[in-house]
């Protein structure tokens, strides 16, 4: 089976915060690594939405023109210190940021989106910005994000030594492992495969199940992962954790000093969209960048 990933187009949505500047380091580093084109996208709010028909005001047209020009000048100046030879295009759109990001990513067939989880505040690791959440909810494109993108290295020193892959052994596990395995091969990095058994499968209501049941569940999980690895040709070390799923996986990735954590999103749409509860919790608490596939 083909286990390669093709990253030829990377989308970097920006709103010019410090967090976007740091996310840009990752985006530029990845673009250099994969010889990909990097598109910097800024979506500015349409004043017509806030104030109705702005043309009714005498200075409305001039104000709108100034907003466009100001946004364009900031966009052109963004990432002015990009690595030599990096192919960069800049796109300015107006309207709802999340909707425009998703629609543009789908229309232009991007392979990866890079953006921070949240813009501001000392509690940012416990939050997921509304725009990022909507993009994760609606987009079917892999997204590189996380609450600690401010730790991004300079593009010259960018490397990945350990790729952690969190599998729930559901329908999306094959795609998640394929992506993680290909990333680890490209960087010659170690592949760590993580699976968490919820505490409720081991004990409930103060009653602990027979230890043999725990061994059975662990053995069954290892067998399923072994079949996936055989199918995809990956050779990752397997770690089975027990506890709250999100907490167990993020702690396992932290303890093993993973440089990136690859997780899956649901393939469904509707009210819950693609961003499941465990994925949401992992994104908030991860100690390294997270790629949600």
DSSP code string of 121-160: STTGGG---HHHHHHHHH--S-EEE-TTGGGPPPGGG---
**At residue 245, does pLDDT exceed 80?**
yes
Quote the pLDDT of residue 122.
Answer: 42
Mean per-residue pLDDT for 172-193? Answer: 95
The alpha carbon of 229 is separated from its chain's Cα centroid by a whole number of angstroms, namely 23
With CA atoms as reference, report the closest residue to 248 among 219, 221, 277, 281.
Answer: 281
**Which residues, at least 6 apart from 35, have a Cβ–Cβ distance to it below 8 Å?**
8
Q: Quote the pTM value.
A: 0.86
**At residue 8, does pLDDT exceed 90?**
yes
d(CA 138, CA 274): 7
Q: Give the H/E segment covering residue 119.
A: none
**At residue 133, does pLDDT exceed 60?**
yes
For 162, the 3-state DSSP assignment is: strand
**At residue 125, does pLDDT exceed 50?**
no
- Write down the H helix ranges in the chain: 18-34, 47-51, 60-77, 97-107, 130-138, 173-186, 211-232, 245-255, 277-285
Residue 150 confidence class, pLDDT cut points 50, 70, 90:
low
Mean per-residue pLDDT for 264-268? Answer: 71
User: Which token pair is 203?
Assistant: 């004990």
d(CA 94, CA 70): 13
Strand order of the sheet with strand 9-13?
Answer: 88-94, 37-44, 9-13, 112-114, 143-145, 290-292, 260-263, 162-166, 190-197, 237-242
Beta bridge partners of 238: 193
- Span of 139-148, 154-163, 198-207 with lowest mean pLDDT: 198-207
d(CA 138, CA 124): 22
Residue 211 confidence class, pLDDT cut points 50, 70, 90:
confident
For 285, the 3-state DSSP assignment is: helix
Q: Phi, psi at residue 213, to the nearest 5°?
A: -65, -40
**At residue 123, does pLDDT exceed 60?**
no
d(CA 105, CA 176): 20
**At residue 271, does pLDDT exceed 50?**
no
The share of the chain scoring above pLDDT 70, in percent, equals 81
Quote the pLDDT of residue 126.
Answer: 42
Give the chain's domains with CATH numbers: 1-154 (3.40.50.620), 159-293 (3.40.50.620)
Residue 127 confidence class, pLDDT cut points 50, 70, 90:
very low
Task: Convert the pLDDT of each residue in 183-197 to its tens digit.
Answer: 999 999 999 999 999
């Amino acid at each position: 089976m083909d286990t390669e990933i093709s990253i030829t187009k990377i989308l970097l949505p920006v709103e010019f915060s410090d967090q976007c500047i740091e996310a840009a380091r990752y985006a530029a580093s990845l673009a250099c690594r994969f010889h990909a084109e990097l598109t910097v996208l800024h979506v500015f709010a349409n004043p017509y939405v806030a104030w109705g028909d702005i043309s009714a005001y005498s200075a409305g047209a001039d104000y709108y023109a100034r907003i466009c020009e100001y946004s364009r000048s900031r966009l052109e100046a963004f990432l002015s210190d990009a690595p030599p030879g990096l192919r960069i295009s800049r796109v300015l759109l107006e309207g709802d940021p999340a909707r425009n990001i998703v629609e543009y990513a789908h229309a232009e067939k991007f392979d990866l989106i890079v953006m921070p989880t949240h813009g501001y505040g000392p509690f940012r690791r416990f939050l997921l910005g509304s725009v990022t959440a909507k993009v994760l909810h609606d987009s079917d494109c892999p997204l590189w994000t996380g609450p600690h993108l401010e730790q991004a290295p300079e593009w010259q020193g960018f490397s990945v030594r350990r790729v952690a892959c969190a599998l729930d052994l559901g329908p999306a596990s094959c795609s998640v492992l394929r992506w993680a395995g290909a990333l680890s091969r490209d960087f010659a990095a170690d592949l760590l495969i993580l699976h968490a058994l919820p505490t409720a499968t081991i004990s409930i209501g103060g009653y602990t199940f027979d230890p043999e049941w725990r061994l059975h569940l662990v053995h069954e999980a290892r067998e399923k992962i072994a079949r996936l690895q055989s199918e995809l040709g990956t050779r990752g070390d397997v770690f089975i954790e027990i506890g709250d799923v999100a907490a167990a996986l993020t702690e396992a990735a932290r303890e093993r000093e993973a440089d990136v954590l690859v997780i899956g999103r649901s393939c469904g749409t509707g009210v819950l969209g693609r961003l499941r509860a465990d994925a949401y919790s992992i994104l908030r608490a991860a100690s390294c960048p997270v790629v949600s596939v």
